[in-house]
């Protein structure tokens, strides 16, 4: 009887260790695993569910942008969004005026034949659609301006690159002035332009 009891006790002890302890047998936990595999990639890509919208961007002339890095002058700006941002070649910096009307003058530093002005915002879709009213004036002396394109409303939409182009009859100009009179964005009370290009 004592032997039976001893065996039973030993068995019970072993079973207890097996079921509750950190024995080696517990290393193998029955596991149903799902492995989510990564695709072959050599560099980060744009997700397929967001097709590249550049195909629908408003095209800009491929000729020289006479405004790039030329001297500019404007009135008061908002916060840190200074006037020199409008022709630094980068659309992730921008100029924002402090109120309306807002004038931006670009000194082309010499006479050029101009026929197109483009106004660009940051192309990111985080910039919601907005409308700005813009007129284009040109001058050969920086004092006497004539109207190249009358004030009109232009729609900026990330779907088309957040940029607009204003085409007009080719004319000689050393200075180009843009006059902004309205911006429909609720986030600002001023004109906005990341780049102003003159072709």
Partner 1 sequence: MKTGKKLIAVLLALVSLVTFTGTCESPRTLLTIYEGPKTMTSSAVANVSVNGYELFVYDVMVNHEHIWNANTQPSSTPVTYFDFSGKAKIVIEMPGLPKPVESAAVLPTSCGIEPVVDNGKVRFFITEPGQYTVVFNDSVNQALHIFANPLEEDVPDRDDPNVFWIGPGEWVMDAIVLKDDQTLYLSGGAVLHSIISVANAKNVRICGRGMIDGSDYPAWNQPGSYARVPIDLNHSKNVTVEGISIVNSNCWNLNSYSSRDVRIDNVKIISGRQNGDGFTFQSCTDHVVTNCFARTWDDSLVIKNYSGSTKGITFKNVQVWTDLAQSMEIGYETDKGLTLDPEISQVLFEDITVLYNWHKPVISIHNSDDAYVHDVTYRNITVENAFMQGDNGYNKELVEMTLQNSSWSTVRDEFGTIDDVLIDGLTVLNTLDGKVPRSRFAGQDEEHRITNVTFRNVVILGKPVTDLKDFKLSLNEYCEGITIQ
Q: Which stretch binds partner 1 (CB under 8 A): 39-47, 56-64, 107-115, 137-145?
A: 39-47
Nearest-approach distance from CB 12 to partner 1, in angstroms: 6
**What residues have CB less than 8 Å from 24, skipping those under 6 apart?**
none
54 lines the binding site for partner 1 (CB under 8 A): no
Exactly one of 21, 26, 64, 142 binds partner 1 (CB under 8 A); that residue is 26
Q: Which stretch binds partner 1 (CB under 8 A): 6-14, 105-113, 141-149, 171-179?
A: 6-14
DSSP-derived letter for residue 3 is: H
Instruction: Please name the residue that has the structure tokens 């902004």.
Output: 180
* Paired tokens of 26: 């517990």
- Cα 110 vs. chain centroid, distance in angstroms? 32
55 lines the binding site for partner 1 (CB under 8 A): no
Nearer CB in complex with partner 1: 32/63: 32
Strands 102-120 and 95-96: unpaired
63 lines the binding site for partner 1 (CB under 8 A): no
- Secondary structure of residue 158 in the 3-state scheme: helix
37 lines the binding site for partner 1 (CB under 8 A): yes
Exactly one of 3, 24, 33, 141 binds partner 1 (CB under 8 A); that residue is 33
- Cα 6 vs. chain centroid, distance in angstroms? 79
DSSP-derived letter for residue 147 is: E
In 3D, which of 114, 121, 139, 130 has the Cα closest to residue 61?
114
Contact letters (x/-) for partner 1, 81-120, by CB under 8 A?
-----------x----------------------------
79 lines the binding site for partner 1 (CB under 8 A): no
Q: Which stretch binds partner 1 (CB under 8 A): 7-15, 163-171, 174-182, 190-198?
A: 7-15
- Whether the link from the prior residue into 101 is cis, omega within 30° of 0, is yes
Write out the binding residues for partner 1, residues 121-180 only, by CB under 8 A.
123-126, 128, 158
Contact 191/100 with Cβ under 8 angstroms?
Answer: yes
* Paired tokens of 6: 């001893």
Give contact residues for partner 1 (rule: CB under 8 A): 1, 4-5, 8-9, 11-12, 15-16, 18-19, 22, 26-47, 49-50, 92, 123-126, 128, 158
């Amino acid at each position: 009887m004592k032997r039976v009891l001893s065996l039973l006790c030993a068995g019970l002890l072993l079973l207890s260790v097996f079921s509750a302890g950190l024995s080696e047998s517990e290393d193998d936990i029955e596991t149903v695993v799902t492995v989510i595999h990564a695709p072959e990639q050599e560099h980060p890509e744009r997700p397929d569910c967001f097709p590249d919208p550049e195909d629908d961007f408003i095209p800009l002339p491929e000729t020289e942008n006479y405004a790039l890095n030329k001297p500019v002058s404007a009135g008061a700006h908002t916060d840190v969004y200074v006037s020199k941002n409008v022709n630094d070649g980068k659309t992730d910096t921008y100029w924002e005026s402090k109120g309306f009307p807002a004038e931006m003058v670009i000194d082309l530093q010499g006479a050029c034949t101009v026929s197109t002005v483009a106004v660009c915002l940051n192309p990111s879709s985080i910039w919601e659609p907005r409308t700005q009213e813009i007129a284009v004036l040109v001058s050969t002396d920086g004092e006497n301006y004539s109207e190249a394109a009358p004030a009109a409303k232009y729609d900026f939409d990330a779907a088309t690159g957040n940029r607009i182009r204003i085409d007009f009859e080719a004319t000689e100009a050393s200075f180009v002035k843009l006059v902004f009179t309205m911006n429909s964005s609720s986030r600002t009370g001023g004109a906005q332009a990341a780049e102003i290009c003159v072709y």
